[in-house]
Chain A
Amino acid sequence: MTKPFYDADIAWCPGCGNFGILRTLDKAVEEAGLDRRSLVLVSGIGQAAKLPHYTRANVFNGLHGRALPAAVGIKLANHKLEVVVTSGDGDMYGEGGNHLLHNLRRNVGVKVFVHNNQVYGLTKGQASPTSDLGFVTKVQPAGVIAPPLNPLAIAIVEDCSFVARSFAGDMEHLREMMVAALRHRGGLALLDILQPCPTFNHLNTYQWYRERVKRIGDSHDPYDRAAALELARKWGDEIPIGVLYRSDRPSFESLLPVLKKGTLVEQYGGEGL
């Protein structure tokens, strides 16, 4: 196995939650037994979207908000590739919101890891779609007045086949969730990762999250949609982490008869490559 290259010129701030996510992703890839040659990391723009450059994999670092459609194009062209989107809350829930909605519906087998730090890092500290009410920034000087988007509730309502949340400060749990998502074979997996931003988010700090995150107990049945939705709606004093929801829907690509003969890449044929 090729060693991940952490010697790259990493552009994140010291203390950034992304470091933990990067290290954990590498471990999860190993643990899930993925061949890195078949692994494609797809990202858009933002701090999270830089992650693919700091590890060993195929990389498609596209446009802001557009990681998901590119990932879906890759997966449908060659469904034997393991396609993982690494995105942030601005990239996936803001700019790319429409694509998330419709790809939850499609259920193409790509893994979507959202580094959710509830703030815009790359553009220096504006509110994100998941910023808490009252969050003060230079653009929202009186504090955010629109309530935060609830991506997990949306995913559950859309019957997403795998919905989980983890916390960048609990790398053991994060690894477990990443491995579960990577092993998920039934379509799109959404993993929302709570990630402190020590530079721009002084509200949702490591300490703030640590006091609130609570692992979902064994008694929860992830196939129980109502119970999953109940968990997804919890925010504030207690924030559940773990697998909230699973569904046995068939993946989009399994419903395409043309892909039963092999990947589109394999079916190309003809003279010359």
Chain B
Amino acid sequence: MDLNIRVAGEAGQGVETMGGSLVDAFAGMGLHVFSTQTYMSRIRGGLNWYDVRIGDRELFSGREGTDLLVALTPEALEHLRGDLTGGGLLLFNGDDGDGVVGIKLEEVARELTGQRVMANTVAAGAVFALLGYPVAELERQIEERFAHKGQEVVEGNRKCVRRGAELVGDRGGRLAAPKPAGAPKGICSGNEAVGLAAATAGVKFASAYPMTPSTGVFTFLAGVADRYGMVVEQAEDEIAAVNMVCGAAYAGVPAMTMTSGGGFALMVEGLALAGMLELPILIFLGQRPGPATGLPTRTAQQDLRFAIHAGHGEFPRAVLAPGTPQQCYDLTRRGLELAHKYQSPVILLSDQYLADMRKNCTGLDESYRPINRYLLEEAPEDYVRYAVTDSGVSPRAAPGSAAFVVVDSDEHAEDGHITEDLEARVRLQDKRMRKQEGLLAEAVAPEWYGPRVAERILICWGSTYGPCREAVGLLNHNEHSIGMLHFSQVWPLEGATIRDLIGRCGPTKGRPKVLVVEANATGQFASLLRQVGAIEECELVLRYDGRPFTGEEIARRVRS
């Protein structure tokens, strides 16, 4: 049992605030919540919406239809009315109409409190009444949330909630709404989870140039910089950002940057620098549709091959691709650990959908638990930075100790100084590349979801986790035999292991049919799996219009 509530209006009208407060209110009741945002690249005007899906079981993706549309403008009403499901309700910021509950939200808010911004609260009261949820519950939450702002604020909010509910009157409670199910009351977005994991894992320096959809991580870190002891600096460009991060990593602190495709393109030389200098840096890459500026506020998974191949020359790296806020948290930490253990750059792939999605989260640990930097405590006087070892990992020291730490973007000998000794070149290049074996051995295994064996397998990576998982549920409900294999590490990959795993998940006779689900136009991950010998034939389920997949859409395309 679940419902989808869509709040829609112009940029600047408070769509995000209203959607956000509904998410908090529903989670506060113990409902499962999943929200996504659809917005245009503008600060005022246009048409943006915020989908809040609520359910009595865990939710993993958005839904196509709307059960309750909250239209803040006539345009929103006209444009999105068609998405309303049978029996769906309309709440309009204006007059009553045919099948429309009209409340002049801003007017009511101004009458009651003198403040237009309280329209959010009036709407929340009306939504609760329309869904037949106890308004007293919303009042309780308001008291909790605004207590520190004083009694006047609490009272103002309460009045707004009550009036919103009153204006709905006996028109409420006609939709069957999910019952609270004891879901975790905490809510977090993909970007918040990345930021929190970075801060708690000991990132001490972060620098970036703002770029949608990665900016949320940057602002999160800036907001907690004092609490966790970090320097967060806005760079003049992405080139500066990545080079500052390389400098900080050399000096001995975990450091990261965040960007999207265009900014990452500028960082590519710096990425190769980290490869050559063997610096542990984390790059958060929030994807959006390209090429070039593309669709700045929409979603895509188009930079997979780019992330894996970026950088001139050859050097090891790991590319991680979380699919949920929880995985964002876990893999950010993991990425930092890998970067330090293997003295290599690590790229964390996200996208607009994952960055902005909000979902119930079970207590993400906020305590400071710095990772092991694998730094030498005391380097001997004859220390050299790039000692050749079996693992390829050389003991790392930071400058300021007894030893000189010499690093060079030119090819260098063991001591870090520039060399054109071509034997040293091969020795050092081999040493660096050996680290890829360690990264491969520690690769995060893909996650299987579905029956023990299945005739068909959906393969996905990164943010398509949720929609695929919902599709599996929908399809198996109708007696399909389908499972899903989700990759949260997309590089390096071991073809033979994946091939065996797919074989074991399939029917006893023959191999399962493989469908690869990706938000790009060319099936980048499918081609990567073929390249490493993990799969042969497969069907592609692609989407690249800038909007995220839904479980329904994938199920529909699998059935056809």
Q: Which residue of A lies closest to B370 (CB)?
A: A270
Q: Is B521 an interface residue (CB 8 A)?
A: no
B232 nearest CB across to chain A (Å) = 9
Closest to A45 in B: B409
Q: Are A101 and B236 in contact (CB under 8 A)?
A: yes
User: A26-63 interface mask toward B, CB cutoff 8 Å, 1 = contact, 0 = none?
Assistant: 00000000001110101001000010110011111111
- Measured between C-beta atoms, what is the minimum distance from B511 to chain A in Å? 45
Smallest beta-carbon distance B229→chain A, Å? 5
* B64 at the binding interface (Cβ < 8 Å): no
Specify which chain A residues have a CB less than 8 angstroms from the CB of B277 in the assembled complex: 60, 62
Is B205 an interface residue, CB under 8 A from the partner?
yes
- Asked if B407 contacts A265 (CB within 8 A), the reply is no
Chain B residues 185 to 207 lying within 8 A of chain A, measured CB to CB, are 202, 204-205, 207
Of B233, B369, B403, chain A has the most CB atoms within 10 Å of the CB of B233
Q: With A98-B237, A258-B231 as given contacts, are A264 and B243 in contact (CB-CB < 8 Å)?
A: no
B462 to chain A, nearest CB (A): 29
Q: Give, as a whole number of angstroms, the nearest-CB distance from A20 to chain B.
A: 21
Across the interface, which residues of A come within 8 angstroms of B370, CB to CB? 268-271
A59 with B408: CB separation less than 8 A: yes
B369: chain A residues at CB < 8 Å are 270
Apart from A58-B400, A76-B244: 9 A-B pairs, beta carbons within 8 A: A60-B277, A61-B408, A63-B409, A69-B244, A70-B246, A80-B400, A256-B231, A264-B230, A268-B202
Chain A interface size band reads 35 or more
A154 on the B face (CB < 8 A): no
Which B218-263 residues have a C-beta within 8 angstroms of A? 225-226, 229-231, 233, 235-237, 239-241, 243-253, 255
Query: Are B269 and A99 in contact, CB atoms less than 8 angstroms apart?
Result: no
**C-alpha spacing A256/B230, complex, angstroms:** 10
Docked pose: A246 CA to B410 CA in angstroms? 36
Q: Quick one: which of B236, B241, B249 contacts A98, CB cutoff 8 A? A: B236
Q: Are A40 and B399 in contact (CB under 8 A)?
A: yes
Within 8 Å CB of A273, what residues of B?
A: 372-377
Query: Given the complex, which residues of B lie within 8 Å of A156, measured CB to CB?
Result: none
The 8 A-B pairs with the shortest beta carbon distances in the complex, nearest first, are A73-B247, A270-B370, A77-B251, A73-B244, A70-B247, A69-B243, A58-B399, A102-B236
Chain A residue numbers with a CB within 8 Å of B205 are 73, 76-77, 264
- Cα–Cα, bound, A80→B251 (Å): 11
The answer to whether B253 and A265 have CB atoms under 8 Å apart is yes
Interface pairs (26), CB distance under 8 Å:
A8-B417, A37-B399, A37-B401, A45-B409, A58-B399, A60-B277, A63-B243, A69-B235, A69-B240, A70-B243, A70-B250, A72-B247, A73-B244, A73-B247, A73-B249, A74-B247, A74-B399, A76-B248, A77-B255, A81-B251, A102-B240, A258-B229, A261-B229, A264-B230, A265-B398, A268-B202
A21 to B: closest C-beta gap in Å: 18
CA distance A71 to B249 in the complex (A): 11
B residues in contact (CB < 8 Å) with A? 202, 204-205, 207, 225-226, 229-231, 233, 235-237, 239-241, 243-253, 255, 269-270, 273, 277, 368-377, 398-410, 416-418
Known: A38-B400, A76-B205, A256-B231. A62 touches B251 (CB 8 A): no
Interface residues of A in 245-261 (CB under 8 A from B): 256-259, 261
Does A14 sit at the interface, judged by CB under 8 A? no
**How distant is the Cα of A40 from the Cα of B400 in the complex, in angstroms?**
9
Is A267 an interface position by the 8 A CB rule? yes
Q: Which residues of A are found within 8 Å of B245, using beta-carbon distances?
A: 73
Kindly state the separation between the CA atoms of A74 and B305 in the bound complex, as whole angstroms: 31
Check A137 for interface membership: any CB of B closer than 8 A: no
> Does the CB pair B373–A268 fall under 8 Å?
yes
Q: How far is the CA of A71 from the CA of B204 in the complex (A)?
A: 16
How distant is A99 from chain B, measured CB to nearest CB, in Å?
6
**A272-B375 Cα distance, complex, nearest whole Å:** 9
Which residues on B sit within 8 Å (CB–CB) of A175?
Answer: none
- How far is A71 from B277 in the complex, measured between Cα atoms in Å? 15
By a beta-carbon cutoff of 8 Å, the part of chain A in contact with chain B is: 8, 36-38, 40, 42, 45, 50, 52-53, 56-63, 66, 69-78, 80-81, 98-99, 101-102, 256-259, 261, 264-265, 267-273
Given that A58-B405, A60-B250 are contacting pairs, would A99 and B372 also be in contact in the complex, using a CB cutoff of 8 Å?
A: no
Q: Which residue of A lies closest to B204 (CB)?
A: A264
CB distance from B553 to the nearest CB of A (A): 44
For B396, the closest partner residue in chain A by CB is A273
Q: How far is the CA of A8 from the CA of B412 in the complex (A)?
A: 14
A73 touches B400 (CB 8 A): no
Q: Which of A63, A80, A261 has the most CB of B within 10 A?
A: A63
B381's closest neighbor in chain A, by CB?
A2
Docked CA distance A73–B244 (Å): 4
Kindly name the residue among B204, B269, B372 whose own CB sees the greatest number of chain A CB atoms within 10 A: B204
Partner of B273, one of A8, A62, A71, A99: A62
Give A258 to B225 CA distance when docked, in angstroms.
8
From residue B196, how far is it (CB to closest CB) to chain A in Å? 17
B373 contact set on A, CB distance < 8 A = 268, 272-273
Provide the residues of chain B in CB contact with A42, threshold 8 Å. 247
Distance from A54 Cβ to chain B, minimum over Cβ atoms (Å)? 9
Q: Shortest Cβ distance from B254 into chain A, in angstroms?
A: 8
* Nearest CB on B from A216, distance (A): 31
Contact between A70 and B244, CB atoms less than 8 A apart: yes
How many angstroms from the CA of A143 to the CA of B247 in the assembled complex?
Answer: 38
* CB neighbours of B269 from chain A (8 A): 63, 66
Given the complex, which residues of A lie within 8 Å of B226, measured CB to CB? Answer: 257-258
Q: What residues on B are CB-neighbors of A76 within 8 Å?
A: 205, 231, 233, 244, 248
A73 cross-chain contacts in B, Cβ below 8 A? 205, 207, 243-251, 255
How far apart are the CA atoms of A53 and B418 in the complex, in Å? 7
Q: Are B229 and A264 in contact (CB under 8 A)?
A: yes
| Closest residue on chain B to residue A5 by CB atoms | B417
Closest CB of chain A to B520's CB: distance in Å?
30
**Do residues B404 and A56 form an inter-chain contact, with CB atoms below 8 A?**
yes
Chain A residues with CB under 8 A of B235: 69
